Chains A and B, each alone.
Chain A
Amino acid sequence: MSKKISWLLIGFFLLSIAMPLIAKAADIAPDPAGTSTGKAIDVPAAVAGSPTLEELAATAGHNRVAINMMWTLITGFLVMFMQAGFAMVETGLTRAKNVAHTMAMNFMVYPLGMLGFYVCGFAFMFGGLGPIATMGGFNGLNHEISITLMGKSFGLFGGKGFFLTGQGYDVAVFALFLFQMVFMDTTATIPTGAMAERWKYISFFIYALCVGTVIYPIYGNWVWGGGWLAMLGQNFHLGHGHVDFAGSSVVHMTGGVIALVGAWFIGPRIGKFNKDKSPNPIPGHNIPMAVIGTFILAFGWFGFNPGSTLAGTDLRIAVVAVNTMLASATSAVVATIWMWAVRTKKPDPSMMCNGLLAGLVAITAPCAFVNSVSACIIGIVSGVLVVEAVYFFEGVLKIDDPVGAISVHGVNGAWGVLALGLFADGTYGDGWNGVAGTVKGLFYGDSSQFIAECVGVLANLVYIGLISLIVFKLIDIFVGTRVAPEAEIEGLDVPEMGVPGYVGVKMDKFSETPFSK
C-alpha cells in the first residue's frame, strides 16, 4: 500500500515541475511592484485604450465622487463602532448588578434609533437639504417645509426620503443616510448613561423610537438640513448662520439636554443623596471597561469629525483629524490635573476618561475652522469645564448622572459651538450655508458668528428640553418610567431582562446601595 502511495507522490512531484515547461510563451507577466497595473484601457471608452477628453473627464468626475463616497461610508463605519465605546463606558461606570440592563439599553438603541431614522427621521432632517454636493450633486431631497416670519423663510423640517424610497433611492442619498444615521445613534445613546440603573426597559424602548423619529431630526434639520438656524446668515446677516461642523450642538448638546431632562425626570438612584441632600458616591464596577470604551470612542471620533467633510478629496480632513486629537489630549490632561491638584488630590480614572471625551465633544463643532493652538485651548477649557460641571449637577442641582453624560455632552456641546464662534480663523468654509467668505469667529473679526452660535445653543436648550420633557411625560403616563425600588436594590438584570449579566460571580447586591443618612 505504501509503495503505491510513494509512486503516486513521485508522479505528482514530476507533474508539478513539468507544468512550467509545458506552459506556452503566451503566459502574461505578473506585476509584483504594481507599476504596470491600471492603464488607459481601464478608462471606460468607446475605443478601448483611447479615451476622448470627455470620457476622461467623466471618469475623473466619477472617481472624485467615488473617493468622497468611500470616505463618507468608511468614516460612517467608524462612528458606528462608537456604539461599542458608549456601551463599555456606561457599563463600566455603573454597578455589576445592572450590567445586562445597561448593556441591553446601549445595544438596543442602535437598531431602534436606526429604524426610526429610516422610517421618517432622515426625511424630516434632510428632506429639504438640496444638492448633495460632494457625491454627485443629486437634488432629489428638495422639499423643505417652512414658515414665513418677518418676510423671511424659516425652514422647519423636510418632507422627502421616507423609507429611502422614491427620490430617496439614490446612491448619494443612501451614503448620506448611513453617515447621518450613526450620528443620530450617538445622540440616542447619551441619555441611557444619565438614566441608567433605574430606567424601565419598556420606557427606554419607546424613548429609543422617539429620538430617531422626532427629537433629533427636527433640530438637526434646522442646523444641517437647510433649516432656519443655518439660514441665520442669509436671512439676518449673522455670520454664516449657526455653524456646527460635526455636531457639538446637533449631536452632543442634544444628547446632553435629553440626558439632563431625563435624569431630572427619573430622579436619583436610591441611596445617592442623603436627607440633607449631600451626595454619596456609587462607584462603577469596572474601570478597565470604562477606559477601553473611552479609547474606542476616541478612535471612532476619527470618523466622526474628519468624515463630516463628506469628501475624501477635501484635504482639510488632515487639519480636522489633528485638531480632534489635540483637543482630546489637552482636555484629558487638564481634567486629570484639575482633579489631582485642585479638587481631590487623586487622579481619578473615570474623570480622566470624561476629560478626554469632553475635549472631543468640544472640538466637534470647531475642528474644521480653527488652528491647532486654538484646538488645544478649547481642550484646556473643556477639561476644567467637565469636572466642574460634574460637581455642579450633582452637588448643586442634585441631579444624579451616573456617567457624567450631561457634563461631557451637554455642557461641552454648548461650549463647542460657542468656541467655534470665538476661534474660527477664516481659513476654511467659503460659502458655508450660502454665505460668501470663510467662517470667522469673534477673535478673528466676526462677532455676528458668535451671536449665531448663541442663538443655536438657546434654540437647542428650548426645543430639545421641551420635546424630551413631553416625550418622557407621555411615556410615563402609558408605561411608567422608573423600576420598583425592590428591583432597583436587587439589580435590574433579573427583574427587567430575565438574566443576570454576570453568572456565577459573587456579588453582594444589597450592599452596593449606599445608606442614605
Chain B
Amino acid sequence: MKMIQAIIRREKLEAVKQALDAIHCPGMMVWEIVGHGKQKGITEQYRGREFRVDFLPKTKIEIVVSDSKVKAIVDVIIKVANTDKVGDGKIFIIPVEDAVRIRTGEKGEVAVS
C-alpha cells in the first residue's frame, strides 16, 4: 500500500479529480496548502509599499491505494496537472503500513480498494 501525495496548482484540482474518476481511483483527500519550492514567492504591493508573499497557494491530494494502482494514478496526475511552467508541483510516494475500514473493521489492501 502506498500514499500518493500530489501537490498541484489550485486551479488544476477539478481536471485532476475528473481524470482520476475516469480511471476509477477509489478515493482521495484534498488539502488547501501554501508553500513554495524553487519557484519562491511573488511581490505584491499595498498603498505604495511592496511586500514579498513567499508562500503560494497550492492543493495537496492524498490517495492511499494498493501498490498495483500507483503507476496508473501517478501517470494520470502528471498528464493532467502539467503546464510546463515552474510551480506545477510535485508527487511524493510514501509507504503505508496498514489501513482499516472503520465501518467493517477490514484491514489491509482490501480497506482501500
Number of A residues, CB within 8 Å of B? 19
CB of A234 closer than 8 Å to a CB of B: no
CB of B105 closer than 8 Å to a CB of A: no
- Contact string, B28-68, partner A, CB cutoff 8 A, digits 1/0? 00000000000000001111111100000000000000000
- Beta-carbon contact of B48 and A343 below 8 Å: yes
Would you list 22 pairs from A and B whose C-beta atoms are within 8 A, ordered by A residue?
A280-B51, A281-B45, A281-B47, A281-B49, A281-B51, A282-B46, A283-B44, A283-B46, A284-B46, A343-B48, A344-B50, A346-B45, A348-B45, A348-B46, A350-B46, A350-B47, A351-B47, A387-B48, A391-B48, A394-B49, A404-B47, A514-B51
Query: How big is the B interface, by class?
Result: under 10
Chain B positions near chain A (C-beta within 8 angstroms): 44-51
State in angstroms the CA–CA spacing of A280 and B46 once bound together. 9
State in angstroms the CA–CA spacing of A102 and B105 once bound together. 52
Closest 4 CB pairs of A and B: A281-B46, A281-B49, A283-B46, A281-B51
- Beta-carbon contact of B51 and A344 below 8 Å: no
- Beta-carbon contact of A279 and B45 below 8 Å: no
- Beta-carbon contact of A390 and B48 below 8 Å: yes
State in angstroms the CA–CA spacing of A350 and B46 once bound together. 8
Closest to B49 in A: A281
- Contact string, A278-300, partner B, CB cutoff 8 A, digits 1/0? 01111110000000000000000
CB of A339 closer than 8 Å to a CB of B: yes
Total number of A-B contacts with CB less than 8 angstroms?
A: 34
CB distance from B50 to the nearest CB of A (A): 8
* B49 partner residues in chain A, CB cutoff 8 A: 279-281, 394
State in angstroms the CA–CA spacing of A92 and B75 once bound together. 45
State in angstroms the CA–CA spacing of A279 and B48 once bound together. 11
* B45 partner residues in chain A, CB cutoff 8 A: 281, 344, 346, 348
Interface residues of A in 76-96 (CB under 8 A from B): none
State in angstroms the CA–CA spacing of A283 and B51 once bound together. 10
- Beta-carbon contact of A390 and B51 below 8 Å: no
- Beta-carbon contact of B51 and A351 below 8 Å: no
State in angstroms the CA–CA spacing of A136 and B45 once bound together. 55
State in angstroms the CA–CA spacing of A283 and B44 once bound together. 10
| Known A348-B46, A391-B48; further 5 A-B contacts with Cβ < 8 A | A281-B51, A282-B46, A344-B50, A387-B48, A514-B51
- Contact string, A300-343, partner B, CB cutoff 8 A, digits 1/0? 00000000000000000000000000000000000000010001
State in angstroms the CA–CA spacing of A283 and B49 once bound together. 10
* Among A280, A348, A514, contact of B48 (Cβ-Cβ < 8 Å): A348
Interface residues of A in 474-490 (CB under 8 A from B): none
* A346 partner residues in chain B, CB cutoff 8 A: 45
Interface residues of A in 195-222 (CB under 8 A from B): none
* B50 partner residues in chain A, CB cutoff 8 A: 281, 344
State in angstroms the CA–CA spacing of A514 and B45 once bound together. 14
CB distance from B2 to the nearest CB of A (A): 30
CB distance from A240 to the nearest CB of B (A): 39
State in angstroms the CA–CA spacing of A344 and B44 once bound together. 11
* A394 partner residues in chain B, CB cutoff 8 A: 49
* A339 partner residues in chain B, CB cutoff 8 A: 48
* B44 partner residues in chain A, CB cutoff 8 A: 283
- Contact string, A150-163, partner B, CB cutoff 8 A, digits 1/0? 00000000000000
State in angstroms the CA–CA spacing of A348 and B44 once bound together. 11
Closest to B32 in A: A506
CB distance from B91 to the nearest CB of A (A): 26
